């Protein structure tokens, strides 16, 4: 069920220009400017925010909501009412769990969830040659994340060789009034090396994830060697396994049955590397981190082991907590209340199950995956993005959600977005 936002032909003409002598459409300067501002905000301005209590209203969040409203108001986008109703149902159940939960909860966490995912019910309406919009969004992101990658390589050298500590993270020089609230690892060190974060990004893991996605987009499109090398340089500068795993998922997870043998062969090679790779020069820096899974207080333990312990605690609370969760914002607040002496990360899978239950987890993942796999993105990239979202703490990060929303704006099956009364009419170019 799709509700179209009607607009006049004049409004449509404000979004696109006619291209004389050839078929298709091109984005206007205003549309291109909106795309550039949105992508730049998630890469360079994500740490700048207006803090309303413990709710960081970040720059990229404002750009995200403003672009959504702009697309709807201009008639450029269509509202999928069925998706919006499902999010409304999640809001209703989430509100009831906050009221009746015995755990420390947060209305701001639920509000942020709805603000970030309500625009997922907004999609570009059908126009001829809409793939150009998707290509422009991807090319803009690839270019700007390559700039971040270049900054990260220079940062790695400047901080570790020239001891330029002022270049560690922009968060250390931002005034408190505009620095986004929240607890993040702005400074990480591994093997005596300070990890790069691209200066503008919060953490090295964020740099790793974004450069990995940028690399995959470029590899599956134009394959410009300079940009691929630059993006891989930024990925390695993060000294984080997050992006490496994303790339592995993209290349190894089969998207068809004929790719299954390659998947099995790659798994054999991967297991061999895990078993004997520490003897290969250069790989020990990465493979030695597997020992973190047994060490409390380490990054690996916080990401993969400690969340399972939190879910075990939730199961002990009964069927209501299992199926409907403990309430929005309860995951990290409960961690703080327990006063543990080691860190517990909040990956999407654990946070959703703990706060919204098995039912909420299934619905939210289905909505996210449905949006992703129905877009024009290649299946390999969809696999990688889904893994990045569900395995890391990206569910309430405006920068990551904005990126996924923009990359999935154009529907793969666009005919379903055309009103029945217009399908039999001759196509018009605007």
Alpha-carbon gap, residue 9 to 181, rounded angstroms: 44
pLDDT of residue 365: 95
Would you give per-residue pLDDT tens digits along the chain (430 residues)? 444 443 433 443 444 443 333 334 567 888 899 999 999 999 999 999 888 776 778 899 999 999 998 888 888 888 888 899 999 999 999 999 999 888 999 898 999 899 899 999 999 887 777 888 999 999 999 999 999 999 999 999 999 999 988 888 888 888 988 887 666 665 666 667 889 999 999 889 999 999 999 999 999 999 999 999 999 999 999 988 899 999 999 999 998 888 888 888 988 888 887 777 766 766 766 666 676 777 787 777 888 888 998 999 889 888 999 999 999 999 988 988 888 777 888 899 999 999 999 999 999 999 999 999 999 999 999 999 999 999 988 998 999 999 999 999 998 854 444 444 444 444 433 3
pLDDT of residue 191: 61
Residue in the block written with tokens 């020990």: 284
pLDDT of residue 166: 87
Alpha-carbon gap, residue 310 to 75, rounded angstroms: 45
pLDDT of residue 285: 64
Q: Which long-range contacts (CB under 8 A, 24 or more apart) does 113-118 make?
A: 113/328, 113/395, 113/396, 114/87, 114/90, 115/61, 115/65, 116/61, 116/64, 116/396, 116/398, 116/401, 117/87, 117/364, 117/367, 117/368, 117/401, 118/84, 118/87
DSSP string, 1-20: --EE----HHHHHHHEEE-T
pLDDT of residue 237: 94
Alpha-carbon gap, residue 256 to 44, rounded angstroms: 37
pLDDT of residue 165: 85
């Amino acid at each position: 069920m799709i509700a179209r936002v009607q607009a006049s032909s004049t409004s449509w003409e404000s979004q696109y220009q006619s291209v004389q002598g050839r078929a298709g459409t091109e984005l206007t300067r205003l549309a291109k400017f909106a795309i550039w501002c949105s992508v730049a905000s998630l890469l360079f301005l994500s740490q700048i925010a207006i803090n309303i209590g413990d709710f960081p209203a970040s720059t990229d969040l404002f750009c995200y909501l403003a672009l959504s409203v702009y697309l709807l108001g201009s008639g450029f986008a269509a509202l999928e009412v069925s998706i919006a109703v499902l999010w409304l149902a999640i809001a209703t159940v989430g509100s009831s769990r906050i009221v009746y939960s015995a755990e420390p909860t947060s209305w701001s966490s639920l509000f942020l969830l709805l603000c970030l995912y309500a625009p997922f019910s907004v999609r570009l309406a059908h126009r001829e040659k809409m793939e150009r919009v998707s290509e422009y969004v991807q090319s803009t992101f690839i270019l700007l994340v390559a700039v971040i990658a270049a900054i990260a390589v220079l940062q790695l050298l400047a901080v570790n060789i020239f001891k330029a500590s002022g270049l560690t993270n922009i968060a250390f020089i931002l005034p408190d009034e505009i620095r986004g609230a929240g607890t993040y690892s702005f400074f990480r060190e591994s093997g005596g090396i300070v990890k790069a974060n691209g200066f503008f990004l919060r953490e090295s893991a964020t740099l790793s994830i974004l450069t990995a996605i940028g690399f995959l987009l470029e590899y599956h499109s134009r394959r410009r060697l300079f940009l691929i090398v630059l993006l891989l340089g930024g990925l390695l500068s993060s000294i984080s396994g997050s992006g490496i795993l994303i790339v592995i998922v993209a290349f190894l997870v089969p998207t068809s049955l004929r790719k299954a043998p390659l998947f099995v062969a790659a798994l054999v090679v991967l297991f061999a590397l895990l078993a004997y790779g520490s003897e290969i020069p250069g790989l020990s820096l990465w493979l030695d981190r597997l020992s973190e899974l047994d060490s409390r207080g380490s990054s690996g333990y916080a990401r993969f082991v400690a969340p399972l312990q939190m879910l075990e605690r939730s199961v002990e609370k009964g069927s209501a907590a299992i199926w409907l969760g403990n309430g929005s914002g309860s995951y990290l607040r409960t961690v703080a209340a327990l006063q543990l002496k080691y860190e517990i990360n909040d990956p999407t899978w654990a946070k959703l199950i703990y706060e919204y239950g098995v039912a909420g987890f299934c619905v939210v993942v289905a909505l996210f995956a449905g949006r992703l796999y129905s877009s024009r993105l290649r299946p390999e990239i969809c696999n990688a993005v889904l893994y990045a979202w569900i395995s890391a703490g990206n569910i309430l990060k405006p920068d990551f959600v904005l990126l996924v929303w923009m990359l999935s704006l154009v529907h793969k099956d666009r005919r379903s977005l055309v009103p029945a009364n217009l399908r039999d009419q001759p196509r018009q170019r605007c």
